[in-house]
Structure 1
Amino acid sequence: MTTNNLLRMDNVGIVVESLDDAIAFFEEIGLKLEGRANVEGEWAGRVTGLGNQNVEIAMMMTPDGHSRIELSRFLAPPTVADHRTAPVNALGYLRVMFAVQEIDELVARLIRKHGAELVGEVVQYKDSYRLCYIRGVEGILVGLAEPLKSK
């Protein structure tokens, strides 16, 4: 018999240049800032494999309290790669998706207030969802899904 060691998913990490801009963008979607902190030192680098590091983090939480995004701004060592403009079929971690209400209003607000761009278009999947991808602050790819009411 195999034991399931999984308890939960704690968070998804996203590295950004501007923590303030990223916080504002995710707050606009509906996440709440749970806290900000600096994580530094050799101990942290032992976890990440980066050696001595200094990272400013912000933890964003969904309204239900079950999911989090950890936004990180590396002060040291400097970032070494940039995947923010990768297309949706690129290998690796790509996007986070949120269930939302009133997707059209939210997309319009994210475009107007944060310069987000709609990747394709808002489409309907069967009688289940209206879906889209947007590129938000710093090119971060976000999926939005509006559940359709059952009749």
Structure 2
Amino acid sequence: MDNVGVVVEDLDAAVGFFTELGMVVEGSASIEGPWADRTVGLDDIRSDIVMMRTPDGHGKLELTKYHAPALSGAGAENPPPNTLGLHRVMFAVDDLDDTLSRLRAHGAELLGEVAQYENTFRLCYLRGPAGIILALAEQIG
């Protein structure tokens, strides 16, 4: 897998959020033109993207802000975790409480509570930028 794409309304806020999570900006670009229209299957695309990578260099997240065409608004806003389709990305963290505290300063909302799975992980789900759901996992055993 090369990357996971997330469409956002506020690109700067999303970059700030994922930077706080430990991701690093790898590059950015403005995307438009016939090749982009043909690739995505939309007309007159104008967008900005920021590619972010995980600290270990193995994962990437492509954040996309569409200027045109207008966002479709398809689907429910802030869909629940059991919605069909791609709906969450999980990140391994060293200190779940500290990470959650830092992400809350960027608007993250805990969906349930921090829970422990046996003696191996502390886990939680939270809602981040553009309503996407993230999961955090801290290995404890």
Structure 2 gap segments, 5+ residues each: none
Contact 2:7 2:130 in 1 (8 A): no
**TM-score, normalised with respect to structure 1:** 0.88
Matched, 1:109 2:107: no
Q: What whole-Å deviation, never above 9, does each CA across 1:93-123 have from its counterpart, x for those lacking one?
A: 1011000011011111211x21211000111
Of the three residues 38, 62, 79, the one matched with 1:86 is 79
Q: Is the 8 A contact 1:131 1:144 kept in 2?
A: yes
Q: Which amino acid aligns with 1:98?
A: F
Please tell me the root mean square deviation across aligned C-alpha atoms, in Å. 1.2
Q: Does residue 25 of the first structure (1) align with residue 17 of the second (2)?
A: yes
- Count of residues paired in the alignment: 140
Contact 1:101 1:147 in 2 (8 A): yes
TM-score (structure 2 length as normaliser): 0.94
- Which deviations, in whole Å up to 9, do the C-alpha atoms of 1:31-75 show, x marking residues without a partner? 001111001111111111113311100001000111000000001
Aligned amino acid, residue 100 of structure 1: V
Bigger radius of gyration: 1
**Dislocated runs of 4+, deviation >3 Å:** none
**1:144 and 2:101 matched:** no
Counterpart pick for 1:58 among 36, 50, 56:
50
Gaps of 5+ in 1: 1-8
Identity %: 51
C-alpha distance in 2 between matches for 1:23 and 1:131:
23
The CA distance in 2 between the partners of 1:57 and 1:78, in whole Å, is: 16
Deviation at 1:84, TM superposition (A): 4.5
Q: Does structure 2 retain, via aligned residues, the 8 Å contact 1:84–1:140?
A: no
Q: How does 1:4-43 map to 2 (within 5 A)?
A: 9-43=1-35
Tell me the distance in 2 between the aligned counterparts of 1:48 and 1:109: 35
Structure scoring higher RCO (CA < 8 A, sep ≥ 6) equals 2
1:99 to 61, 73, 92: 92
